[in-house]
Chains A and B, each alone.
Chain A
C-alpha cells in the first residue's frame, strides 16, 4: 500500500503468523485523526487450485492441512461433501455419532485454547498492561490453576480427536460415506475418566467470561461494536447444531433474512466480493448486496441465530446471555468471548451424552449410494460457518473446489471492528503506544480468526509500526517485541 500524500500512515505488520501475512494499516489525516483503517490479509494458500486433479477420497485428509488449530473442521466439511459425492450422506448412526464426538472434541480444545491461551491475558491484565506480563506465561505465573485448566482442557479435546480420527492433528478418521473406526470400550472409558473434571472446568471458564463481560459491560459494549447481520447453521427445529443443519441469517434486530436454506443452494444466497487491497474475499448476502449484506459468523452469530440449545446447562447460559440485550441479537464484539464459553459448555455436555451412547461401539460404519458429480459440505467450525464445495469428474478427480472459511465471512466485521477501535482509541493521540495498538488486536482477537494464534503467543509480536508523514517520510518507527 502506498502512503497517501495528505495522510500519515501507520502499518501494523504482521498482525499474525497465519503464514505471517496479515497487517493493519491506519491512515491519519493532518490532525492525526483516523481517516481509514483496514485489516489486509495478503496470504495466498492456493489449496483450491492445487487439489484439482487429486482423487476425491484424498481431499478430506489433504485440505485439513489448511490449519493446525482446527483441522477437524476442514476434515469434516470436506468429507460431508464427499459423502454426497459417493451417495452416502445418510450416515449410519454409529458413523454420525463418532463424527459428532470428533467435532465436539474439536470445539472443546479450540475454544479452550483461544480463551485460556490467546485472549485471557487481555481480560486478566487489561488491554494496555505491560506486554511482558500480558501473555500466557504471565497468566501461568499469576493464575497457575487457570493455566493448567487451559492446557488440560485442550489436551482432553485432543484425546477425543485422536481416538476418533487416529491422530491428534491431521487424522484420517472420516472417510466418504462414514468412518474408518469406531470408539472401543477401552477408549470410551479412558475419556469418561476425566469427563466430570472437564464439565466442572467448562462451567468455571463460562463463569469467568460471563462475569468479566457483565462487570465491564459499559466499557466493552461500545468496544469495536456495530450492528450487523448474523448467519449460522440451525437444526430444522431451530436448535443450535454445530455439525449439521440448514442456513439461517438474521439482521441486527433479529428479523430473518433467510431461514432453513439447504446449503447445497448456497450460491443462490451468498456471493463474494473481491477488493484490490486484500487476498481475502468479502462474502455477502445476495439479496442485500455487498454494502448491506455482510454478516458475522462464529459463536456470537450462532447464539444469536438459534432459537435454543438442546443441552440444559448451555441453554440456561444462553438465556442469561440473551437477557442482556432483552432477547434481541447481541451485537457487542467483545461478547464473542462469553458466547464461545457457552459453546464450550455445550460441547462438553454433548460429549458426555455421546460417551454414554452405545452406538459409538457400532460396527456398521460406511454407506454408499448413487454417485454425484457436485456437492457442498458445510459445518460450523469453532470460528464460524465453513463451506466446502467440490465438483468431481467421472474419473474420480476433483475438477473444481471453492472453500469459504469462517475468517473470510468475518472479514468485513473484523475490518469494521478495527475501524471502530482506531477511531475511538487512536484518533488524535500524540503518540501511538504499544498498549493502544493492542486495542486493535484485542478487537481482531475477539473473532478468534486464524490470525490470532501467533499475535498473542508469548506476547512477543514481531510487530512493526511505521508512521509516515504526508510527504512519505518515516517520522516514527516502533518495533514491538
Chain B
C-alpha cells in the first residue's frame, strides 16, 4: 500500500494519508472546507452537511469521506456555496438566534459561517420555537434557543470527558439535547472544566458570568473570517 494518496482538490494536486478524510486532507494542504459538527479530537459525525464538496462531480460530506487516488474534489463552486448558505439559513430560521445580544457573538462559529458565506437574511420563515433555558447549574447554563444539534457536546462529554452528560431525545423537529438527569443540568456530574463546554460552536452551552468579557474588536472572528488560520497555511 502506498504511503500517500494523490488527489486533486480545487485544481491542485494534493498528497494525503490513506484513510484520511477529505476535510482533514484539505486542511493540511491549507484549503478550508466549512464545518459545524466536525470537531478536532472527535470522530467524524457527518450531520451538519456544511462540509459538502463534490467528488468527481457528486456531492459528498467531506468529513466522512476518505480520500482515494485520483479523486477530483471541488470545494468552492458557486453551487456549493449556495447550498451552504441554504443550510445556514435553515439553521438560523429553525432556532432563536439573536446575534445582536448573544454573548457568543464574534466568537460564534454559526455566525462566522453566516458572514463567510454572505448570508444576509434567511429566505425561510423563522420558526420561533418555544425553548427553555436550563440555568440550574451553578456555573453552566444551557440555552436551547441557540442549539443547532451538532452533537459536539454529546460526543465530547462521552468521548473526551468520559461522562455522558448530554444526549439527544425525540426526533425530527422535536429533537433536542437533554441531560443525563430527569431533573436539570444541576442534577448531573457536569463540571465547568468539562471540555464539552468549549466544544459548543454557538452560545447554547456557556460558562456562567463570563458574558462580554472580551471587547468588540478582540473577539475570534472580529477581523478575519472563520477558516483563515487554515488558509494561512497555504500562503506560507
Contact = CB atoms under 8 A, between A and B. Distances in A.
Are these two chains actual partners, yes or no? yes
Interface of A: 53-55, 57-58, 61-62, 65, 86, 165-167, 170-173, 175-176, 180-181, 395-397
Given A180-B212, A180-B213, A57 B103 contact: yes
B211 interface: yes
Given A57-B209, A57-B211, A396-B141, A166 B101 contact: no
Given A53-B133, A57-B209, A172 B216 contact: yes
A175 B212 contact: yes
A397 B216 contact: no
A184 B154 CA distance: 42
A58 B211 contact: yes
B135 A395 contact: yes
25 contacts: A53-B132, A53-B133, A54-B133, A55-B133, A55-B141, A55-B211, A57-B103, A58-B101, A58-B211, A65-B100, A166-B216, A167-B216, A170-B100, A172-B215, A172-B216, A173-B215, A175-B213, A180-B215, A181-B215, A181-B218, A396-B135, A396-B141, A396-B208, A396-B209, A397-B133
A62 B101 contact: yes
Contacts of A175: 211-213
A216 B215 CA distance: 48
Contacts of B189: none
A181 B219 CA distance: 13
**Chain A interface, DSSP helix/strand/loop, else mixed:** loop
Nearest to B134: A395
B162 interface: no
A175 to B, nearest CB: 6
For the side of the interface on B, what is the size category? 10 to 19
B214 A180 contact: yes
Contacts, number: 52
A61 B211 CA distance: 10
B136 interface: yes
A178 to B, nearest CB: 10
Contacts of B216: 165-167, 171-172
Nearest to B215: A181
Interface in B187-232: 208-218
**Chain B interface, DSSP helix/strand/loop, else mixed:** loop
A-B CB proximity, top 10 nearest: A166-B216, A57-B211, A172-B212, A62-B101, A181-B215, A395-B135, A180-B215, A61-B101, A166-B215, A397-B135
A340 B192 CA distance: 50
Contacts of A172: 212, 215-216
A143 to B, nearest CB: 36
B212 A55 contact: no
Nearest to A165: B216
Contacts of B213: 175, 180
Contact of B135 (A55, A86, A170): A55
Contacts of B212: 57, 61, 172, 175, 180
A176 B208 CA distance: 13
A389 B132 CA distance: 24
| Residue with the highest number of chain A CB atoms closer than 10 Å, among B132, B136, B215, B217 | B215
Nearest to A174: B212
A166 B106 CA distance: 12
Nearest to B222: A166
Nearest to A64: B101
Interface string B86-104: 0000000000000011010
A65 B101 contact: yes
A55 B103 CA distance: 10
A208 to B, nearest CB: 36
Nearest to B135: A395
Contacts of A86: 209
B92 to A, nearest CB: 18
Interface in B106-135: 132-133, 135
B218 to A, nearest CB: 8
Contacts of B135: 55, 395-397
B235 to A, nearest CB: 29
A180 B214 CA distance: 6
A54 B213 CA distance: 17
Contacts of B210: 57
| Residue with the highest number of chain A CB atoms closer than 10 Å, among B103, B208, B211, B217 | B211
Contacts of A176: 211
A223 B209 CA distance: 51
A403 to B, nearest CB: 16
A397 B135 CA distance: 7
A58 B215 contact: no
